[in-house]
Amino acid sequence: MPNAVRARATVAVGGALLLAVATANAAVAAPPGKYVSLGDSYVSGPLIPDQVNLGCLRSDQNYPSLTAAAEGFSGFADVSCGAATTDDMTQSQADGPIVVNGPQLNAVTSDDGLVTLGIGGNDIGFISIIATCAGESLTNPFGSPCTAHYTAGGTDQLAAAIDATAPKVGAVLQAIHQRAPQARVLVVGYPDILPEYSNGCWPLEPIAYGDVSYLRSTEKRLNSMLAEEAAANNAQYVDTYTSTIGHDVCQAPGTKWIEGLVPLAPAAPFHPNAQGEAAMARALEAALGS
C-alpha cells in the first residue's frame, strides 16, 4: 500500500475510533430521560443559598440539583418540600391555608430515567422529636429523659412509628414504578446527625448525654427500614450516613455538615448545610455509578 494511502487509512481508522469513544462518553455524560427528585427538607435544603422556592424552602444547592448538574440528565424536576411526609406524595401540601406544593408524584412521568426519594423523617415526627428531646434535656442533662419519654410503658413509640411508616414508603415506591416504569429508582437515607462515638455535647446542643445513643439508634432504624423497603420494591438504597460520620452537629464549624439548634452556617436547625448536601450528592452519584 502506498504511504499516502496508508496514512489516509490510518487517519480514517483513528478518526472512527475517536468518534466511537466520543459517542460512548457522550452517552455516559448524558443519561437518558429526566431526573425527578421527591422528598422532604433533607432533600430540599432549607435556608441554604440560593432558595429557589420559598414555600418549600428549596435550594438550588441541594443534593438533587448538584447531582443533576454533575450527571447531565436531559431534564430535571425537583419537587422536594420542607415538612413533607409520605402523604404529600399523593396530596397537596399546605402551610396553614396556603398550598405550597402539589402532590409530588404528579412530577413523575413515563419519560423519567431517574427518580430519587428521600422521605420518612416527618412521618415519625422529626420536628416534635427534636423539640421534645431538647426540652427534656433541661430537666436531666446527664440522664436519658427523652428515652424515658418515648419508651414509657414499655413500648418504643419511635420504633413503632418507623414500623408504621414502612408500608407507606413501599406504596410510594410502587406508585413511582407505575408512573415511570423505565426509571431507575433510588431511596436516599438520612446522614449522621448525632455523634457516632460519643454521648453528645450538651449544652452546646441540647440533647441529654443519655439520650444520644437512643436517638442515634432510632435514626439507624429509620435508615434500615428505608433500605429494606427499597430492596422489597425494586429500588436501590443510598447510604448517606456512613460517609457523614464525624461531621455531626457537635463538630466545629467547617467540619460539621449538619447544623445544630442554632445554625452557624445557612441551614435549618438539625439539617444539612451546603457541605452536607454536597456530601449527600457525592453518595448519590457514587450509587448511580455502581
3-state secondary structure of 100: strand
User: What percentage of the chain carries pLDDT values higher than 70?
Assistant: 89
Catalytic residue among 37, 65, 80, 271: 271
**What predicted TM-score, i.e. pTM, was given to this entire model?**
0.89
Residue 32 — very low, low, confident or very high, per pLDDT cuts 50/70/90?
confident
Q: What is the CATH number of domain 33-288?
A: 3.40.50.1110
The tens digit of pLDDT for each residue in 101-116 reads: 999 999 999 999 999 9
Task: Please give the pLDDT value at position 34.
Answer: 97
Say what the alpha-carbon torsion angle 89, 162, 238, 214 is, to the nearest 10 degrees: 140
Beta bridge partners of 118: 39
41 an active-site residue? yes
Q: What is the pLDDT of residue 31?
A: 64
Place of cell 454533575: 70
* pLDDT reported for residue 22: 40
Whether 44 is catalytic: no
Q: Are the C-beta atoms of residues 205 and 249 closer than 8 Å to each other? A: yes
Q: Which of 37, 41, 44, 65 is catalytic?
A: 41
- Give the pLDDT band (50/70/90) at residue 16: very low
